[in-house]
Amino acid sequence: MRVTGTGHASMRIDTAAGSILCDPWVNPAYFASWFPFPDNSQLDWESLGQTDYLYVSHLHRDHFDAEHLKRFISKKATVLLPAYPTSELEDQLRELGFTSFIETTTNEVMELDGGLKVMIQALTSPTDGPIGDSSLWVEYDGVRLLNQNDARPTDLATFAELGHVHAHMLQFSGAIWYPMVYELPQSAKTAFGKQKRDRQFDRTFRYIDDLKASYVFPIAGPPCFLDDELWQFNDIFGDEGNIFPDQSVFIREYAKVGGDNGVVLLPGSVTELTTESCTTTHPTDVDQYFANKKAHLIEMRERKRPIIEAAKASWRHPEIDVLKEMKRIIEPLLDESIYLAKGVGGPVRFDLVGYDGESVESIVVDFPGKQVRPYGDEKVRYRFRTERALVEHLLYIGEVDWVNSLFLSCRFSAARIGQYNEYIYAFFKCLSEERLQYAEGWYDEHLKNADQEDIRLGDWVVQRRCPHLKADLTRFGVLDGSQLTCQLHGWRFDLDSGRCLTSAGHEIRASKAPTGG
C-alpha cells in the first residue's frame, strides 16, 4: 500500500485494486482565514485527481473544498459516502458533478473490486462537524490503515477488532477559536490555551494507545493564518498557550511519552507500507523544513495576499438589511426549537461593526423570547463582535452553518457570562429546518434515554457515560480528588455537587463509594 501526503487531512491511498483520494483541501477556508500548512497548492493535482475513489470525511471546509473538487478531481471517481442523517454531503457533491456513489453503512466492512476493503464509521451528533464526522478504515493484501482525521469516536474497538492496524492517521492540533478570540487578559488566554494544548495531546496519545498501530501519522492540522489580522495565531512565537502546534512539535511531545513510531507526511511525501515495514521518502528535509517554518509562512503570506484581498472584496453586501434577514431566517427556527432554545437559556448578542470600523449595530437572538430584535441594554449570556460585512455575506449566500464559516474563521471576538454553552454553537450549525429538526430529535433521544449504568472511579461511583457526548468514562475519565475530567473533549465535573465545570447543564450523577465490608 502506498500513501502519498497531499496536505492537512488529505492523502492518496494507492493499491493494486484502486486508489482512494481523501479530503483534498487546497483553497483558503473560513473567510480566507485558514490555509493548509505546509503549502500543497503546487502539487500535481491534475494527476492526483485521477482517482478511482473519493472520500470526503465531512463538510468542514478544510475537508470539503468545493472549488478544488470541481476543478481537479475526476468525476469518474466513485464517492465513498458516510452514512449521515442528512443528504447534504451527497447533494453538494452531485452539484459539483459527481454521479457515482457507494452508500456505506457505519461500522460495516465493504469489499470493493479487486479485494480492496473499506469501512466508514460515521459520527452523527449535532456537535460532530456540521451534522457529522467520520473515519475511514482501509485494508488491502493484509495491510490496514485507519484515517481517523479529526473525528473523535468514543472508542476505536470497532477498528481494532478487524485486525492489527499498520498506519493510524489522526488529528493532534487545534481546530477551534478558543481561547484566542475571547476578551480575556493575555495571561488568562495563555493559561487556558496551554490547558487546551495539553488536552489535545493527551486525547491523541490516548487514541494511539487504544489502537496500538505499527505507525502513527499526525495529520489534519494545523492550519496556518496568512492574513495580517490573524498572523499572531501561528505557532512561531514561542507561545506555550498556542493551540496550533505543528507536526514537528507532535513528534517531540510524542517522544516524551515513549512514542518512537511517528511518521510525518509533507505534501508530496510517499510512504510504502507493508505488514512489516514503513518506508517514507520526502520532497525535502523534514527537520529543516520545520526549522524554517517562519520563513516559509512569510513567503506564503506574500504569495497568497492577492487571494485574501480578493476574498475580502467580495464580502460586503450593503443592500442586505441584516436585522430583517436574521429575523426571517432565524425566528422560524426559534419557534420550532425546544431543546436547543432551552439549552441556550438566554439572549445572545451580535455586535456588528460597520464599514467605517467604528459604528456598531447590536442585534439580539433571544432564545427564550423566540425572536431576533435590536439589543435592549439587557444582560446576555454570550456576546460576539464581528464585521458587519461577514454577516452580510453569510446571509447573501444563505449559509446554514455559521460555525463552519464565521466562528472557525476566528474573525470575531467573544465574551460570555458563565460557562461554555454547546447549545449556542449547535443552533448556529443548524440554520435550516432539516438540520434543526435532526438536532432537536437527537437531543430528545439522548436526553430522554441517558445511560443509567454506574461505574467506580477511585472513591466515587459515577455514571459510566459522560453527560456531554456519552464517552465511556472507564476509558476517558481522569479523576483528580473530587474533580473528574473526560479526556475526549476535556469536559470537567465537580463530583461533590454533580455540576459541570465546563458548560451550562450536563450534570453528572455521582456519589461517594461505600466503604468497609
DSSP 243-255: S---HHHHHHHHH
Q: What is the pLDDT of residues 410-459, one digit of tens each?
A: 999 999 988 889 999 999 999 999 899 899 888 887 776 555 778 899 99
Q: What is the pLDDT of residues 305-338, one digit of tens each?
A: 999 999 999 999 999 999 999 999 999 999 999 9
Those residues whose C-beta lies under 8 Å from the C-beta of residue 94, and which sit 6 or more positions away, are none
Sheet holding 499-500, edge to edge: 477-480, 483-486, 491-494, 499-500
Summarize the confidence of residues 397-409 as an average pLDDT. 96
Summarize the confidence of residues 487-507 as an average pLDDT. 84
Position 380 confidence tier, pLDDT thresholds 50, 70, 90: very high
The amino acid present at 4, given as its one-letter code, is T
Give burial (CB, 10 Å; 0-12/13-18/19+) of 499: middle
Q: What is the pLDDT of residues 225-271, one digit of tens each?
A: 999 999 999 999 999 999 999 999 999 999 999 999 999 999 999 99
Position 515 confidence tier, pLDDT thresholds 50, 70, 90: confident
Decide if 203 contacts 170 (C-beta within 8 A): no
Position 516 confidence tier, pLDDT thresholds 50, 70, 90: low
pLDDT of 341 reads 95
Position 517 confidence tier, pLDDT thresholds 50, 70, 90: very low
With H, G, I as helix, E, B as strand and everything else as coil, classify residue 277. Answer: coil
Ordered by where they begin, the domains of the chain are 2-306 (3.60.15.10), 322-443 (3.30.1050.10), 450-512 (2.102.10.10)
- For the chain, give the mean pLDDT: 94
Q: What is the pLDDT of residues 151-198, one digit of tens each?
A: 999 889 999 999 999 999 999 999 999 999 999 999 999 999 999 999
The answer to whether the bond into 222 is cis (omega within 30° of 0) is: yes
